[in-house]
Amino acid sequence: MEAPSTKVFTSIAANYLPKARVLARSVKRHAPYMHFSLMLVDSPPADFDLEAEPFDSLITLDDLALENSRAWAFSHTVVELCTAVKGRAVSLLLGQPDTRAVFYFDPDMVVFGRLEELEGMLEDSSILLTPHQSTPETSLDAIMDNEMASLKHGVFNMGFVGIADTEEGRRFAAWWADRLTHFCLDDIPRGLFTDQKWANLIPCFFDDYRVIRSPAFNVATWNITTREVTGAVDSGLLVNGEPLGFYHFSGFDNGDQALMLNKYGANSQPLNDLRAWYIEACEREGQVVLGTQAYGHGCYDDGTRIGLSERRLYRARTDLQCSFPDPFSTDIEGGYHGWYRHNVGDGDSAIQSQVVTLDDATQTRAALDQFSQWLGTRALRHSLSPKRMMLIGLSRLLRWLSGSAR
C-alpha cells in the first residue's frame, strides 16, 4: 500500500466545471502527487469523461450517506447545497486509509504554489484556516466593505480549509458535517451564512487549529487594501514580498469581483492582468458553453422553476417531507408543487398593503375576513406546533368578528 497522501477537493454544480478545471490544473501543476476529487452536486454534462478531466475521482450526493439525498438537495439553494456537502465530503476522504490530510478549495480559486508549505503546517496543527482580513483596515470605506462584511458573513473564509487525519481533525470534520447537514443556510437574520458563521465557533470548540495570517494565502478583493501584489502571472506574483500561494476570485460571476477590484485595485496592473488571465483560462475550459448550464436541481420534473419560498417551507415542515419524499416529482396530483400552489400560492402578499377605513363597517368586515384568510394560509407553513395553532385560533377569531364564520 502506498503511503498516505494529501487529498484535495472542490464542490460544484455542473456550470462551475470550467472553474473547477482551472483550479485542478493549478493544483496538479504544483503538486502532481496530490489526489484531486470533484464533488458534483448535480449531473455532469452529457459528454463528461472523467478520464479526460484533470480530476482523479468524482464524488456525488449518493456517496455521502444521506437519508434522502433528493429531498435534502431540494431544501437548499445551489450555493447552500455546494457548501452543505463539504463537511461530509471531508469525512468521506478522511475515512479512506490512504489519506494523510484534506484540503478544500472553492472552485473559483487558483493555486500558484506553496502547497508543500501548507502540508507542513498540518504536521503541527489539525485545522488550517484563513481569515478574510489579517490586517486592520485604515479607511472608513474599507472598514464598512471588508471588516463589517466579516462580522456579517464570518471572520474566516471557508473557501479554504485544511484538515489533518488526526483525532482532532476527524472530530472537527464530524462536527462540521453535522452542522452543514442541518443548518447550512444563507439566512443572515438568523445568524447563518452557509458554513462561515459556524466557523466562528472553531476557536471555542477546538484547540488544535492554526490561523494563517500570511498575506499570500487566500488573496481576494476583500483584503487587497492591505496586500500589495507585484510581479506578473507568467514570471511569478508576490504579495507584500511573499510568493503568492493562492488567489480567490470570489464574486466573479455576479460582478462583485470586478466592482471591488475597480474600487480598491484599479491602479494595480498585476491584479488586473490576473483577472484577464483568469477569464482566458476559464474560457479555455469551456466557460462560454458550460457556464450557462442549467442547475440540475433548479426545477420540478415538469420543468417548472422551484422558488426559494418553496424550498424553505419544505425544509421547515417535517410533515411535508413525509408526505412528499420526492419533492421534485409532480406525478401524483402535482406532488409537492401542486400542494404548494393550492395551499400557499401568493399568500405572503395578501392584504399587506390594504388600508382599512374603520368607520366603514362593510370594509372593516371585508378586511377582517381577508386578514383571517391570510393568517390561515400562514398557518399552513407551520407543522403541528404552538405557532400553527395560535395562527389558526386567531384566524377563526377574526372570521367570527367579520361575520364570515360558518
Whether 383 is in a domain gets the answer yes
266: domain range?
5-290
Per-residue pLDDT, averaged over 60-74, amounts to 97
User: What pLDDT sits at residue 376?
Assistant: 60
Answer whether residue 23 is part of any domain: yes
Q: Structure pTM?
A: 0.85
Q: What is the CATH number of the domain that holds 242?
A: 3.90.550.10
Residue 194 located in a structural domain:
yes
| In the block, residue with C-alpha cell 455521502 | 64
Please report which confidence band the pLDDT of residue 348 belongs to, taking 50, 70 and 90 as the band edges: very low
**The C-alpha cell of 162 is what?**
485544511
For the residues of 121-177, what is the DSSP string, one character each? HTTT-SEEE-BS-SS---SHHHIIIIIHHHHHH-SB-TTEEEEESSHHHHHHHHHHH
Residue 341 lies in a domain: no
Question: Do 285 and 355 have their domain in common?
Answer: no
Do 280 and 171 lie in one domain? The reply is yes
Distance, CA of 406 to CA of 388 (rounded, Å): 21
User: Under DSSP, is residue 401 helix (H, G, I), strand (E, B) or coil?
Assistant: helix
Q: Which residues pair with 243 in a beta bridge?
A: 238
Band of the pLDDT at 231, cuts 50, 70, 90? Answer: very high
Task: Give percent of the chain with pLDDT exceeding 70.
Answer: 85
Say how far apart CA 31 and CA 111 lie, in whole Å: 10
Predicted pLDDT at 352:
32
- Kindly state whether residues 164 and 286 are assigned to the same domain: yes
Q: What CA–CA distance (Å, rounded) separates 234 from 379? A: 61
Q: Above 50 in pLDDT, residue 123?
A: yes
Mean pLDDT taken over the chain: 90
Confidence of residue 345 (pLDDT cuts 50, 70, 90): confident
Quote the CA–CA distance of 387 and 406 in Å, as a whole number: 24
CA distance 308 to 29: 40
**Within this chain, do residues 277 and 360 fall inside the same structural domain, yes or no?**
no
140 and 40 part of one domain: yes
Among 128-132, 349-353, 375-379, the range scoring the smallest mean pLDDT is 349-353
Indicate if 191 and 271 belong to the same structural domain.
yes
Is the model's pLDDT at 255 over the cut of 60?
Answer: yes
Mean pLDDT, to the nearest integer, of 298-321?
Answer: 96
In a domain, 370, yes or no: yes
Question: What pLDDT was estimated at residue 404?
Answer: 47
Q: How far is CA 107 from CA 16, 152, 240, in A?
A: 7, 23, 25
Q: Tens digit of pLDDT for each residue in 319-328?
A: 999 999 999 9
Both 308 and 405 in a single domain?
A: no
Q: Distance (Å, rounded) from C-alpha 17 to C-alpha 330?
A: 29
Return the pLDDT at 357.
35
Residues 121 and 28 in one domain: yes
- The predicted pLDDT at position 147 comes to 97
CA dihedral (337, 187, 297, 300) in degrees, to 10, reads 10
The answer to whether residue 220 is domain-embedded is yes
Q: How confident is the model at residue 4 (pLDDT cuts 50, 70, 90)?
A: confident
**pLDDT, average across residues 221-243:** 97
3 or 171, which is more confident: 171
Q: Total domain count for the chain?
A: 3
User: In whole angstroms, what is the distance from residue 322 CA to residue 100 CA?
Assistant: 40
Question: Would you state the cell numbers that stand for residue 222, as one nine-digit string?
Answer: 476583500
Return the half-sphere exposure (C-beta side, CA atoms, 13 A cut-off) of residue 84.
24
What pLDDT score does 136 carry?
97
Residues 38 and 111 in one domain: yes
Give domain status of residue 340, yes or no: no
Residue 362 neighbours by CB distance under 10 Å? 8
Asked if residue 14 is part of any domain, the answer here is yes
The average pLDDT across 356-368 equals 48
Residue 304 has pLDDT above 90, yes or no: yes
User: How close are the terminal C-alpha atoms of the chain, in Å?
Assistant: 76
CA distance 104 to 85: 11
Please say if the pLDDT value at position 351 is more than 50.
no
126 and 59, same structural domain? Answer: yes
**Same domain for 235 and 303?**
no
The answer to whether residues 283 and 305 belong to one domain is no
What one-character DSSP code corresponds to residue 225? G
Helix (H) or strand (E) holding 37: strand 35-40
Query: Which amino acid is residue 365, in one-letter code?
Result: R
